[in-house]
Amino acid sequence: MNILLLGGGGREHAFAHKFAQDPGCSALFIAPGNAGTALCGTNIPLSVTDFEGIKEFVLRQPIQMVVVGPEEPLVRGIVDFFKNDPLLRDIPVIGPSAAGAQLEGSKAFAKKFMARHGIPTARYREVTTVAEGEAFLKTLAGPYVLKADGLAAGKGVLILDDRAEAVEALGTMLAGQFGEASRRVVIEEFLSGIEFSVFALTDGQDYRILPEAKDYKRVGEGDTGLNTGGMGAVSPVPFVTPELWEKVESRIIRPTVAGLAAEQIDYKGFVFFGLINVAGEPFVIEYNCRMGDPETEVVFPRLNNHLTELFHSVLDGTLGSVRIDTIPEIAAAVMLTAGGYPGDYRKGDILRPGAPVEGCLYLHAGTKTGGQGEILTNGGRVMALTSFGKTIAEAVSRSLEAAERVEFEGKYYRRDIGQDLQ
Ligand code: AMP
Ligand code: GLY
């Protein structure tokens, strides 16, 4: 089967790496891909939101299945675009419809969905004026959490300690700080605890749970500094005990999938549950309608199942009979980033991987292939180095060894990934 994978980050290299070992995938195309995905298939210079360009390529190739990595094409309705086009209707797309992608595309939608289905999450109010917001903020104790309703490239959440500052920040958001995305703001009660990421694959009726992971969002060691897309990840997460898993499945995963089915929302894809453990009780911080990045870089390498097998069962409605088979080893990813990230950063520097560390996966994120076949940096997050171990420390130390050997101007990474879990 010919597969088109949309996206070009570390997550997509992790997908492409799985497909490259999958007997169900005879040819893989990645749009736009990166220098790493080019080693697993053929990169196609198409934007993930160029639906007409994607249509033309899919029909010409021809492609038999489309797999969507990032949220933007899903929120913009790529699944509906395929369903509504007579020429594309029979080509399956792995990912939710626009209605399902609202779980990520609108924080207000996600909160109302959770309220309808009794799913535990922070108390909140959806506001479009400062006056409404100020009144609700007065009912909360700080810190204050303000979320742009729509997609804001991961930057739309502000957390402020002081109420007056929160009111001012709310005014700036509502005035269009994040464009249309912040004309509506969700204000939330602050939850104090430790976050983790859970993933399910669903056909809209049944679901299967993938290994959980912990992501390291802050740029600095000791979880300090600005938020990033993710500086590293570990899977499994030791504090997610069988008891916590039981609560996560019965209170969050099962009601979410049942809620989608009850509301007749077409959802054939991944659900990412951004969770927080508050004194042993799980709450939803956010939903995403896709796999996580860098979580995929530790979750997929632990998965023995072939992705095509899983996706066929999603499409046939046989997901209920599939067994998820994972390796017990711990996987840890250390993300190499460009100097200055998450602020302004350099691009176009030559990257030399150095002598390979045995067993380490070099999953490219922001890279591209230069004119002479060299690897060039091309994004803030440049490369995820994933290793395995019997302990977190063993896995991380392999990735750190690789991190030292990779060379490019301005290279930066955190050395403390996983330390809090040991
Ligand atoms: P989100 O984009 O909704 O995941 O929010 C980004 C980050 O803000 C999360 O990963 C959390 O670290 C933090 N955050 C969001 N909502 C809350 C909350 N209600 N309480 C505490 N922290 C939060
Ligand atoms: N690592 C968080 C995300 O993918 O949104």
Whether 182 is in a domain gets the answer yes
**How far away, in angstroms, is 285 Cα from ligand 1 center?**
6
Residue 12 in any domain: the answer is yes
Q: Is the pLDDT of residue 344 over 80?
A: yes
Residue 13, domain member (yes or no): yes
Asked if the structure places residue 365 within a domain, the reply is: no
What CATH number does residue 93 fall under? 3.40.50.20
The dihedral through the CA atoms of 33, 36, 38, 40 has a sign that is negative
Are the C-beta atoms of 227 and 218 separated by less than 8 Å? yes
**pLDDT beyond 90 at 19:** yes
Residue 216 lies in a domain: no
> Of all atoms in ligand 1, which is nearest to the CA of residue 274?
4
pLDDT bracket for residue 227 (50, 70, 90): confident
Tell whether ligand 2 has an atom less than 6 A from the beta carbon of residue 10: no
Q: Which of 189, 223, 245 is the last residue of a domain?
A: 189
Residues recorded for the chain = 422
Q: How confident is the model at residue 155 (pLDDT cuts 50, 70, 90)?
A: confident
User: What is the per-residue pLDDT for 219?
Assistant: 96
12 and 47 co-located in one domain: yes
Q: Which numbered ligand comes closest to the C-alpha of 218?
A: 1
**Stretch 210-216: mean pLDDT, rounded?**
98
Helices (H) and strands (E) in the chain, counts: 13, 23
Residue nearest to atom 12 of ligand 1 (CA): 195
What mean pLDDT comes out for the span 149-177?
Answer: 90
370-415 per-position pLDDT tens digit: 999 999 999 999 999 999 999 999 999 999 999 999 999 999 999 9
Final residue before a domain boundary, out of 97, 132, 154: 97
Report the percentage of the chain scoring pLDDT > 70.
100
Distance (Å, rounded) from C-alpha 82 to C-alpha 84? 6
For ligand 2, atom 2: residue with the closest CA: 292
| Residue 375 pLDDT | 98
Is the domain of 86 the same as that of 131? no
Residue-wise pLDDT for 79-119, tens only, equals: 999 999 999 999 999 999 999 999 999 999 999 999 999 99
Residues 152 and 69 in one domain: no
Minimum-distance ligand 2 atom for the alpha carbon of 233? 1
- pLDDT grade for 142, boundaries at 50, 70 and 90: confident
Residue of minimum CA distance from atom 4 in ligand 2: 292
Q: Is the CB of 215 under 6 A from ligand 2?
A: yes
Q: What is the pLDDT of residues 248-268, one digit of tens each?
A: 999 999 999 999 999 999 999
Q: Do 21 and 86 share a domain, yes or no? A: yes
Ligand 1 atom nearest the C-alpha of 192 is 21
* Average pLDDT across the chain, whole number: 96
Instruction: Give the per-residue pLDDT at 422.
Output: 86
The pLDDT score that the predictor gives to residue 321 is 93
Give nearest CA residue, ligand 1 atom 11. 285
Residue of 197, 216, 289 to mutate, ligand 2, most atoms within 8 A of C-beta: 197
Supply the pLDDT for residue 152.
87
pLDDT greater than 80 at residue 154? no
Query: 175: domain CATH number?
Result: 3.30.1490.20
Work out how many domains the chain is built from and give that number.
2
Around ligand 1, the residues with Cβ closer than 6 Å are 122, 145, 147, 157, 188, 190-191, 195, 217, 274, 285-286
Instruction: Please report the atom of ligand 1 found closest to the CA of residue 190.
Output: 20
**Residue at 328 is within a domain:** no
Residues 152-167: what's their mean pLDDT? 89
Q: What is the reported pLDDT for 149?
A: 92
User: Are 10 and 67 part of one and the same domain?
Assistant: yes
Nearest CA to ligand 1 atom 7: 157
Based on the domain organization, do 11 and 89 belong to the same domain?
Answer: yes
Residue 174 and residue 139 share a domain? yes
Owning domain of residue 44: 2-97
Instruction: Tell me the pLDDT tens digit for each residue of 22-45.
Output: 999 999 999 999 999 999 999 999
Pair of tokens at residue 338 = 């460009």
Question: Could you tell me if 147 and 80 lie in one domain?
Answer: no
Pick the last residue of a domain from 149, 168, 189.
189
Cβ–ligand 2 distance for 293 under 6 Å, the answer yes
> Considering the domain boundaries, does residue 112 fall inside one?
no
Residue with tokens 């590293």: 232
Quickly tell me which residue has 């691009």 as its tokens: 347
CB neighbourhood size of 241 (10 A): 12
My answer on whether omega of the bond before 356 falls inside 30° of 0, hence cis, is no
Is residue 69 domain-resident?
Answer: yes
b/e per residue 180-205 (b: at least 16 CB within 10 A): ebbbbbbbbbebeeebbbbbbbbbbe
Given ligand 2 and candidates 228, 235, 288, 417, which is best to mutate, with the most ligand atoms within 8 Å of its CB? 288
Q: Has residue 153 got a pLDDT over 90?
A: no
Mean pLDDT, range 162-171, rounded to an integer: 93
